[in-house]
Structure 1
Amino acid sequence: MRRGRARDDATGWLFVAPVVVILGVFLLLPILMAMWVSLTSWNGQGSPFKSGVPFVGLDNYSRLFTRDDLARENFMISIRNNVYYVAIVVPLQTALALGLALIVNSRLLKGKSFFRSAFYFPSVTSSVAISVVFLFIFSNTGALTQLLGFFGIQGPQWFSDARGVLHLLLGMDTPPAALAGAGPFGLSWWEWLSGPSVAMCAIIALVVWTTSGTFMLMFLAALQDVPVTLEEAATLDGAGRWQRFRYVTLPMLRPTMFLVLTLGLIGSWQVFDQIYVMSKGDPAKTTLTPAFLSYRTAFRDFDYGAGTAISFVLFLIIVLLTLFQRRVMRERRS
């Protein structure tokens, strides 16, 4: 019995060995190499594993949080921008995806295949191409500005105005004395509470539009697995449409909701290509994100150690937020 089980185990490992080797060489090994680079001050010349590369330990990490210099300021600005980005994108794309799935899943809707394809089409279109189109739409003489002008509204300078939307709504250009002082990590409270810039809002609109289609398909698959008998029983008990959705449909969608929120959270913290094409962090760093800052620090400033350290800090943030979200969803489920 033991010999047969050992033979089965060896056979199983033999079949999975190619995948394990491939993942180890192309996934695990690069991660370990990048971790080593984050502990050095490698400038990109030669090999980072030569003896002449200066080893700085955790200095690349500590300077992001403790040193009062430009590196920490840029990193905290990118974190602030990404927090606003996540707080707006994740709820909007989840709600829009669920709404579209409910529409497509409706029994009264005709031409479901057409609407399903139309809603999903932006998700499979090149993000770079869509970003270029949105640049034309949100330019100072673009379609959106012209449309607002038709109604007598003067549109903002989308990719030139560095003020946050909260500052714009309040009509304040200078901070009040209570918010002008230094806040956490070297930024003033006025900077922390600025809200996203109009340029970031344009990027948010693009991302919500292009990602909702994929999450719509996930919700649609989950909705089609909801037993019809449950809804019919709720209808016989006198439950209205909203009550059926809240107490019957929505609890059945909880696993899919967790998947959508997790993927949305991870993707929103990794936003890069839209930033690279549309703004490159401008105006005045209001669209700077940690992912783009990592790229810029490594490949433009040739500080590969600091750039890699930013990427690992970003990875830690994503893991912690995902674990927190999982715990919250589990407590609600219980």
Structure 2
Amino acid sequence: MAGKAPAGTSRLRAATRENIAGWLFVAPVVMILGLFLLLPILMALWVSLTDWNGQGSPFRAGVPFVGVDNYTRLFTEEGLARQDFMTSIRNNVYYVLIVVPSQTVLALGLALVVNSRLLKGRTFFRSAFFFPSITSSVAISVVFLFIFANSGAVTSLLNLFGLDGPQWFADSRGVVHLLLGALGVVDPSSPPAALTDGGPFGLSWWEWLSGPSVAMTTIIMLVVWTSSGTFMLMFLAALQDIPVTLEEASMLDGAGRWQRFRYVTLPMLKPTMFLVVTLGLIATWQVFDQVYVMSQGNPAKTTLTPAYLSYQTAFRSFDYGSGTAISFVLFSIIVVFALIQRWVMRDRNGGAGSRRLRRS
């Protein structure tokens, strides 16, 4: 008995061996992520603090260190850099405000349709709705260029009804300006001086309130159509995971179809809704390939986005410090919006419900 270790010491040694074994198992993944993810991020952060022009190594002694100058130029210094960056932010804000709700509502509606037991050929419709999501975004973007061309299918269809369609990818007018002009509220050619004299971050209020351009609206239609299929599958999986007994119980209580959807289906879909909105926010703030293929920021920079501006600044203007700084600002915006969205969609009744369960 004298040579036997205490029970507490044995448990501590067992826990230590388990921890060592666990770290040995995850060590390869940690090393790979650190080498190919964390290290490049830290290297890019260093580049954003320099005036590197792409020649040689950014870590050599001769590369000028500028600190946060690349960041301050985007927010505080008058010039083309701030104007382009704020223009891209404005464009992307309208893009996010339209795409995220539209694709979420459309995906949920499609999931409800293909989940209905009364629908014939549900497998076909599920495949048809999901097909655009797995098709190359570059290929679909090229198809949209042909469809919305001046002699394309959309313009020809509008001509059949006696309507003259706009030059979709050459029209830089904001849809809010067009709507106000059509209603006779404001003349877009002579806006009020109060809206054109000043505004935040180098853009006038009239420019901030322009809405997405006609060209950006075309890209929005493309993205909503192609992204809804993926989110439809997420909602469909969540719908099929809802216990049938809940719906049957609500029907026995006299709940109608809308009441069942509002008080049974939607609360059960809240985790999936959070996932869909979060993925939508991340994807819409990172939009690049559609802009690169369809417009490259034109016309008049109304389809310019921060992601494309970062690429343009770094790989076309060879100002890698400013381009990397734009990417880190974009990363910060995504994180902030994700945290806000998580706070808004948090379960406010979870704590009270768990306390009631513990008391019972």
Matching of residue 249 in structure 1 with residue 282 in structure 2: no
* CA radius of gyration, larger in: 2
Matching of residue 300 in structure 1 with residue 316 in structure 2: yes
Give the Cα separation in 2 of the matches to 1:333 and 1:207. 35
User: 5+ residue gaps in structure 2?
Assistant: 1-10, 182-187, 351-360
What residue in structure 2 maps to residue 11 of structure 1? 21
What residue in structure 2 maps to residue 66 of structure 1? 76
Matching of residue 87 in structure 1 with residue 97 in structure 2: yes
* AA in 2 matched with 1:208: V
What residue in structure 1 maps to residue 162 of structure 2? 152
* AA in 2 matched with 1:123: S
What residue in structure 2 maps to residue 273 of structure 1? 289
- Structure 1 residue 176 displacement after superposition: 1.5
Give the Cα separation in 2 of the matches to 1:51 and 1:267. 37
CA deviation digits over 1:133-181, x for unaligned, max 9? Answer: 0001111111101100110010011111111011122332232222111
Give the Cα separation in 1 of the matches to 2:144 and 2:192. 35
What residue in structure 2 maps to residue 39 of structure 1? 49
What residue in structure 1 maps to residue 280 of structure 2? 264
Identify the match of residue 180 of structure 1 among 193, 196, 200. Answer: 196
Matched residue SS, 2:325: helix
Identity rate, percent: 78
What residue in structure 1 maps to residue 215 of structure 2? 199
Let me know the Cα RMSD of the aligned residues. 0.9
Matched residue SS, 1:285: coil
What residue in structure 2 maps to residue 162 of structure 1? 172
User: Could you tell me whether the CA contact under 8 Å between 1:223 and 1:249 is conserved in 2?
Assistant: yes
- Per mean C-alpha deviation after superposition, the further-off stretch among 29-38 and 235-244 is 235-244
Matching of residue 29 in structure 1 with residue 39 in structure 2: yes
Matched residue SS, 1:9: helix
| Alpha-carbon spacing, 1:244–1:147, altered in 2? closer, same or farther (3 Å) | same
Matched residue SS, 1:63: helix
User: 5+ residue gaps in structure 1?
Assistant: none
* AA in 1 matched with 2:231: F
Give the Cα separation in 1 of the matches to 2:336 and 2:60. 34
Matching of residue 56 in structure 1 with residue 66 in structure 2: yes
Matches within 5 A, 1:67-146: 67-146=77-156
Give the Cα separation in 1 of the matches to 2:216 and 2:225. 14
> How many residue pairs were aligned?
334
Matched residue SS, 2:345: helix
Compute the TM-score of the two structures, normalised by the length of structure 1.
Answer: 0.98
